[in-house]
Structure formats: C-alpha cells, structure tokens
Chains A and B, each alone.
Chain A
C-alpha cells in the first residue's frame, strides 16, 4: 500500500510545483482552468435542458472524426481536427434522430447505440494506424494535460502569451464566455421556458443548434487535454455543484468558474501527490468539491426543516 500511495510530503506536493516546476505547473493549471471553465459554462445549459447525456454522446463520438482528420492531414493541425470532429458530431446527431424517429427504438437506446458505434470506429482506427497517428488509447481516455509542449510560445505584440495549446484553449474559453454573456437572455429563456422564448421571438431551434455547435467546439478543444471521457465530468461537475449552492443563474455561472479554478489547482496538487494522471486528478478534486457542496446542501435542507416547517420545501424534488 505504501508503494501505491506515496508519502504526503508538504514540500513536494505544495511547494515544488510553484517553485522548481513553476514553468510547467502554471500552464497545466491554466489549461485545466480554461478547459473546466469552457466546459462548465456550456454544461450549465446542458444540465438545465436535461441534456447532460448528449454531452456524453458527443464527446465519445467525435473520436472517429479526429482520427480521420489525423490520418488525412497527417498532423495535429487544429483546423482539420475541428472539421473532422464537427462532421462526426453532426453524424451522431443525425444517427440518433434517424434511429429514434424511423424505428421504435427509444431515444436513450438510440443515443447509446450511436455513440458507442462511432467511438468503436475511432478506437479501431487509432489502433490500426497507431504508427501513423500521433494519438494513443491512453490519450483518448485521459488526455495529455501533463505534457503540454512548451516550445513555440505564442507571441503577440512583443508579449509572450504562452504555449500554443493553452492559448488556443484560452481563446475558446473567451469566445464561449463572450457568447454566454451576449446571448445571456436568449439562452436562459429558451432553456427555462421555451413557450416564453417563442412569444419573445427567440428561435429556440436555432439556440439549440448553436448550443450544440458550441458544445462540439468545446469538447474538441478539450480533447487533447483531458481525453474523450473525462470531458463529461468537466461538462457536468461544475454546473451540478453550482446547482446545489444557488438558485440564481448568474451566481451559478460565477460558481462554475470558481469550481473550475479550484479543481484545477487542487487537482494539480492531488495529482502530484499521488503521481497519477493529472486530468483525472482534477476531476477527482472537482468531485470532492461536489461532495462538499452536497454536504452543504444537505445541511441547509435539514437546517431549514428545523426552523420553518412551511418554507423548507422550496426547490426540493417531489415535494
């Protein structure tokens, strides 16, 4: 057991990452933060719309798109990867619709069939062409956040911004945040009350597809860092945690960002301590935060119950 769980040395776990290994830790934490923020912001809407498992499906099914793009372009260029993944995402959506609408298979089973098949195609492509594709099965599962290439720093107006992958993720996060800010009302209303959205002249179908497109872009850009499966945690954990702590949507968005930042930092330390996959450690840290939030929520519920018999039912399921 001692072999498995290394001794907790304060110096190694908390000091070294920020002194000796500063140049790599800072980018890892920033990368984790950007991924979790972009995913979390989109994920909040997925949770509201009860589409959390669509995130699951899309994140699995972009894999063949990415693999084919690698095979054709022969490089890790961002553009082919994005295109491939978007095509794969669209194919998934169409497949789910076709299976669901054209046969008596229910939607949940249709989702299950479509994304597992596409994921299987992706894994087979990667293992068949392992030598030609700069990708492996491990990367698919938990990404390579610990191996951010530090060469070729992006410079802008004389300022060194950072490694290209981090800058790219930062841009995606910025765009997502901007879109969420600009179309705050449209997204909110169409998520909570499609009828009201219709009466306000908001095109809910367009909002839906825009959200799906945003989801695909976020998942693709997060793929390299955290892989295809852990990204689901990045999508759902921040929003679920925020849901337990607040009923107000702006506060929830704020809590999402806070959750992203905390899980990136805590995850780094956890990962360094246990010497395991950093992406997985970040998710585990985020899960810890969720459990803490659930405890707070449970305490509030029982507390409210003791003090006012009448007001405590607000927001409780099924009461």
Chain B
C-alpha cells in the first residue's frame, strides 16, 4: 500500500516538475493573448502549439495545474458521494472573489485567493450549521448556500463593474473563465497550491482513504474524522480558487466531478483513481485552453468542461471493465455461449433417445427436439462449427460432434441432472418443479461445485427422472487445467 502511494506521488511530482520546466525554459517574446484579435484559426493554433508566446505557456500550464489539483480532490468528493458539495462550494466563493478584488482594486492573486477561500469555507460551514440546527435537509441547505452566496457575489460584481476603474478590470472573467488572463503570478500560486495538495494527499493518503470509505472504523481507531473532513474542505477550497481564473465560478464543479468520475469508471484502486483523475483533469485543462484560444475571446471554462465530458463519455462507453461496450460484448458472448450449450444439450438428448446409436444428428431431428425451424438450427450448427464443437460435412444436413463438443454436451447434461437431483434430494423439492431452475444453473456451475454436489449425493448415477447422469470423457490432447476433472478418477 505504502510503496504504491509513494509511486503515485513520485509520478505526480514528476508531472508537476516537468510542467514547471516547460514554463521556465521556452524563450519569451510576444504580447499577451488578449492584445490580439482578427487572426485566423490556423495562425492561432500554430501560435498555441509552438509555445512561443509566454501567455500561451502560462495559460496552458495554469490549466494543467488546476486540472491536477481538481482531479485529485474531486476523486475524494466522488467516492464520498459529495459531488454536489463541490458545486455549492464553488458557487459560494464568488463574494470572496469580489471582496478580494476590492482589497486594492486589482486582480491581486493572493488577495483574491484569501477572500475566495474564506468565502468557500464560510459556505461549507453554513451548510453544516443549517443541517445541524434546522429541519432543512442537506440538498436544501446546499442549494440555499449556493444560490444566496452567488447572489451576494453578483451584487458585488455588478457594483464593481459600475465603478470607473472596475469596468476594465476583468472581474467578469471569473464567471466563465479566461485562461488567457492567467499571468506569471497566477501560475506560481497555482503551482504552490497544486504542490501542497499533492504533498498533503501523499502524506495523509491512508487517513484520507480510511475516513472516506469507512468513517466508523476511522473513528474507532482514533482518527479525527471531522478534522480530516475540514482539511479536505480546505484543500478543496484551494483547488476551486486556483481554478476560478481559467474555468470560472459557474463550471468549476465540473472540473472536480467529471475527471474523477471518469477515473472511477476505470479502476477500483484509489491510488490509481487519483492518478487517472489528475491526468484526465490535466488533459481536459490543456484541451480546453487550446480550443478557447482558437476563437476570439471565447470563455475557457465551458471548453474545459466539454473536454472533461468527452473523457468521461469515452470511459463510460469504452472502459474495459465497466464500459457500456465491454459490458454489452460480455453479455452478448455469454448469451451466445448459452445458446451453443443448449444446442449441444439438445444433440445429447437426440443421441440419448436413440441409445447413442449412430454418429451424426440431422438438422430435422434437432429442429424437432428444440421445437425450432431448420433455418434456426442451421445458424446454431454454424456457430458450433465455428467454435470447433461440431463438424458439418457437406450437404448431409447433419452435424457430428467433435471430442470437445461431446465433452461440453456431457458436462452440461451432467450439471443439469446433478442439480435436479440435488434439489429433490437435499432441498426436498418435488421432481416436477426442478427443471426450470436446472436450465439456468447448468451454464454457471463450476467444476469445484460439481465435485461438491457429487460428494453430497454419494456419486449417484441417475437423476430424479431416472435418466443416467453422464460422465465427462477426458480429452488427453487438451491442457490439464482446461479438462473437466470429472471422470479423471473413474
């Protein structure tokens, strides 16, 4: 656990330092992004991608840094089911931004940082207070704080914009974000905060993990759960505040939730989720900064959010384990396997009905047995042939089981009959009620379970209906672990 955490931390720190390296090594000789207008899409893209312009580098670095810190802290929000706390907190910082701005009527990063952090913490404190002292529920308290703090913020912002100096101040950029407005001082602050977030999470990884997943246990082993909660809130407020400039107040919560949720879809390990969320956040930040740079004066926040949503959608659809496509594919192949096994079972039944005389089973026999048309049987036979469970020699309209096919057919019929016997024998269910259940379980019984059933049933040879429970022939040419063990001792 500890070495994993360290590895994750080392990777994150590496990421951070390479970003800073980028900042200080590329030559600087150009105007700020805002000074330009009327340039073509291609020129803008080229300007961005060559990193010649320092403001481009600031914007890109800042966006990536905020993506990292938002992704890391958002992961804890998502696993704690507190996603909407992030939403409330991010709206509640607006009055703090305005007051920090008023401090000396400029976009002083430190003043705004302090004001916004205080406002965010006050917001979360008010949510807790309302939850504890009034009958209002959490959702109402969150909505209330979100909207009323935001309204106070809007009042202040509109008042500032009315001032002669306020109009050109760019405070409105804090609403939807403008990565181009990020300066060197901002990037320094962002780097400090992101570094702090990484270090704190690395140092207290175990504590954060335990308090997030099992607060009762954490309390029992003497961890100050409340303190860690407030610590997390403080870091969260930091992350939101450094993200404001680029993403904007309105959409910061998406940078917290969406990359983390995408990571959540891809892994079950918290340290891996943190790393993935940081990478996704960084990628979304960079892509958003790039896209908004292409147009003239486009807000950055919405583009970052859509980039993050695209990552989430990809994880949602194509995730290897939980993705929709993967799950659909698994379901489909499982259904196909069950279909094949049912066909094999029917073949066994046909053969059994004629006392295993003759080798081939004709399509018409099979169609009659399964009460299906011959066309349907042809499709199923083709599927068996594809999996080398049967061969279809020419125009005979019949199929012959391969050794593997015969083995599977025996195994399925055995599973079915064993289960029927178990239900009537041990669970005392009437023999005419057990067939349906056995139809389902025959496809999922594992070899270990079969061994156990056989033992409990004293190696019975006949099922409740008087039919023989088949043994499964051993195929010597297959690998030992692939061979069903039944009959090995027989």
Contact = CB atoms under 8 A, between A and B. Distances in A.
B324 A102 contact: yes
A277 B131 contact: no
Contacts of B264: 104-105, 109
Given A99-B316, A106-B81, A229-B91, A141 B250 contact: yes
A50 B84 CA distance: 13
Nearest to A107: B81
Interface residues of B, number: 64
A137 B306 CA distance: 18
A233 B251 contact: no
B312 interface: yes
Contact of B147 (A102, A117, A229, A294): A229
Interface stretch (A118-126, A147-155, A172-180, A184-192): A118-126
A272 interface: no
B78 interface: yes
A127 B299 contact: yes
A137 B258 CA distance: 23
Given A4-B159, A52-B143, A244 B254 contact: no
A79 interface: no
Interface in A116-145: 116-117, 119-121, 123-124, 127-128, 137-138, 141-142
B151 A113 contact: no
A11 to B, nearest CB: 20
A106 B257 CA distance: 11
Interface string A306-319: 00000000011110
A237 B156 CA distance: 20
Interface in B144-168: 144, 146-148, 150-152, 154-156, 158-160, 162-163
B150 A53 contact: no
B322 A117 contact: no
B305 interface: yes
Given A105-B265, A117-B254, A53 B139 contact: yes
Contacts of A316: 135
Nearest to A297: B134
Q: Per DSSP, are chain A's interface residues mostly helix, strand or loop, or mixed? A: helix
B305 A230 contact: no
A75 B67 CA distance: 38
A281 interface: yes
Contact of B154 (A99, A141, A286): A141
B41 interface: no
Contacts of A229: 91, 147, 150, 250
A154 to B, nearest CB: 30
B265 A56 contact: no
Interface residues of A, number: 66
B322 A104 contact: yes
A232 B147 contact: yes
B145 to A, nearest CB: 10
B176 A109 contact: no
Interface of B: 78, 81-84, 86-87, 91, 102, 130-137, 139-140, 142-144, 146-148, 150-152, 154-156, 158-160, 162-163, 172, 175-176, 250-251, 253-254, 256-258, 260-261, 264-265, 295, 297-299, 301-303, 305-306, 309, 312, 316, 322, 324
Given A113-B258, A120-B302, A123-B251, 18 more contacts: A50-B140, A53-B84, A103-B322, A106-B83, A109-B261, A113-B254, A117-B309, A120-B251, A124-B306, A142-B158, A229-B250, A230-B147, A236-B140, A240-B140, A243-B140, A271-B155, A275-B159, A284-B151
Q: Which 5 A-B pairs have the closest CB atoms?
A: A233-B147, A116-B254, A283-B151, A120-B302, A280-B154
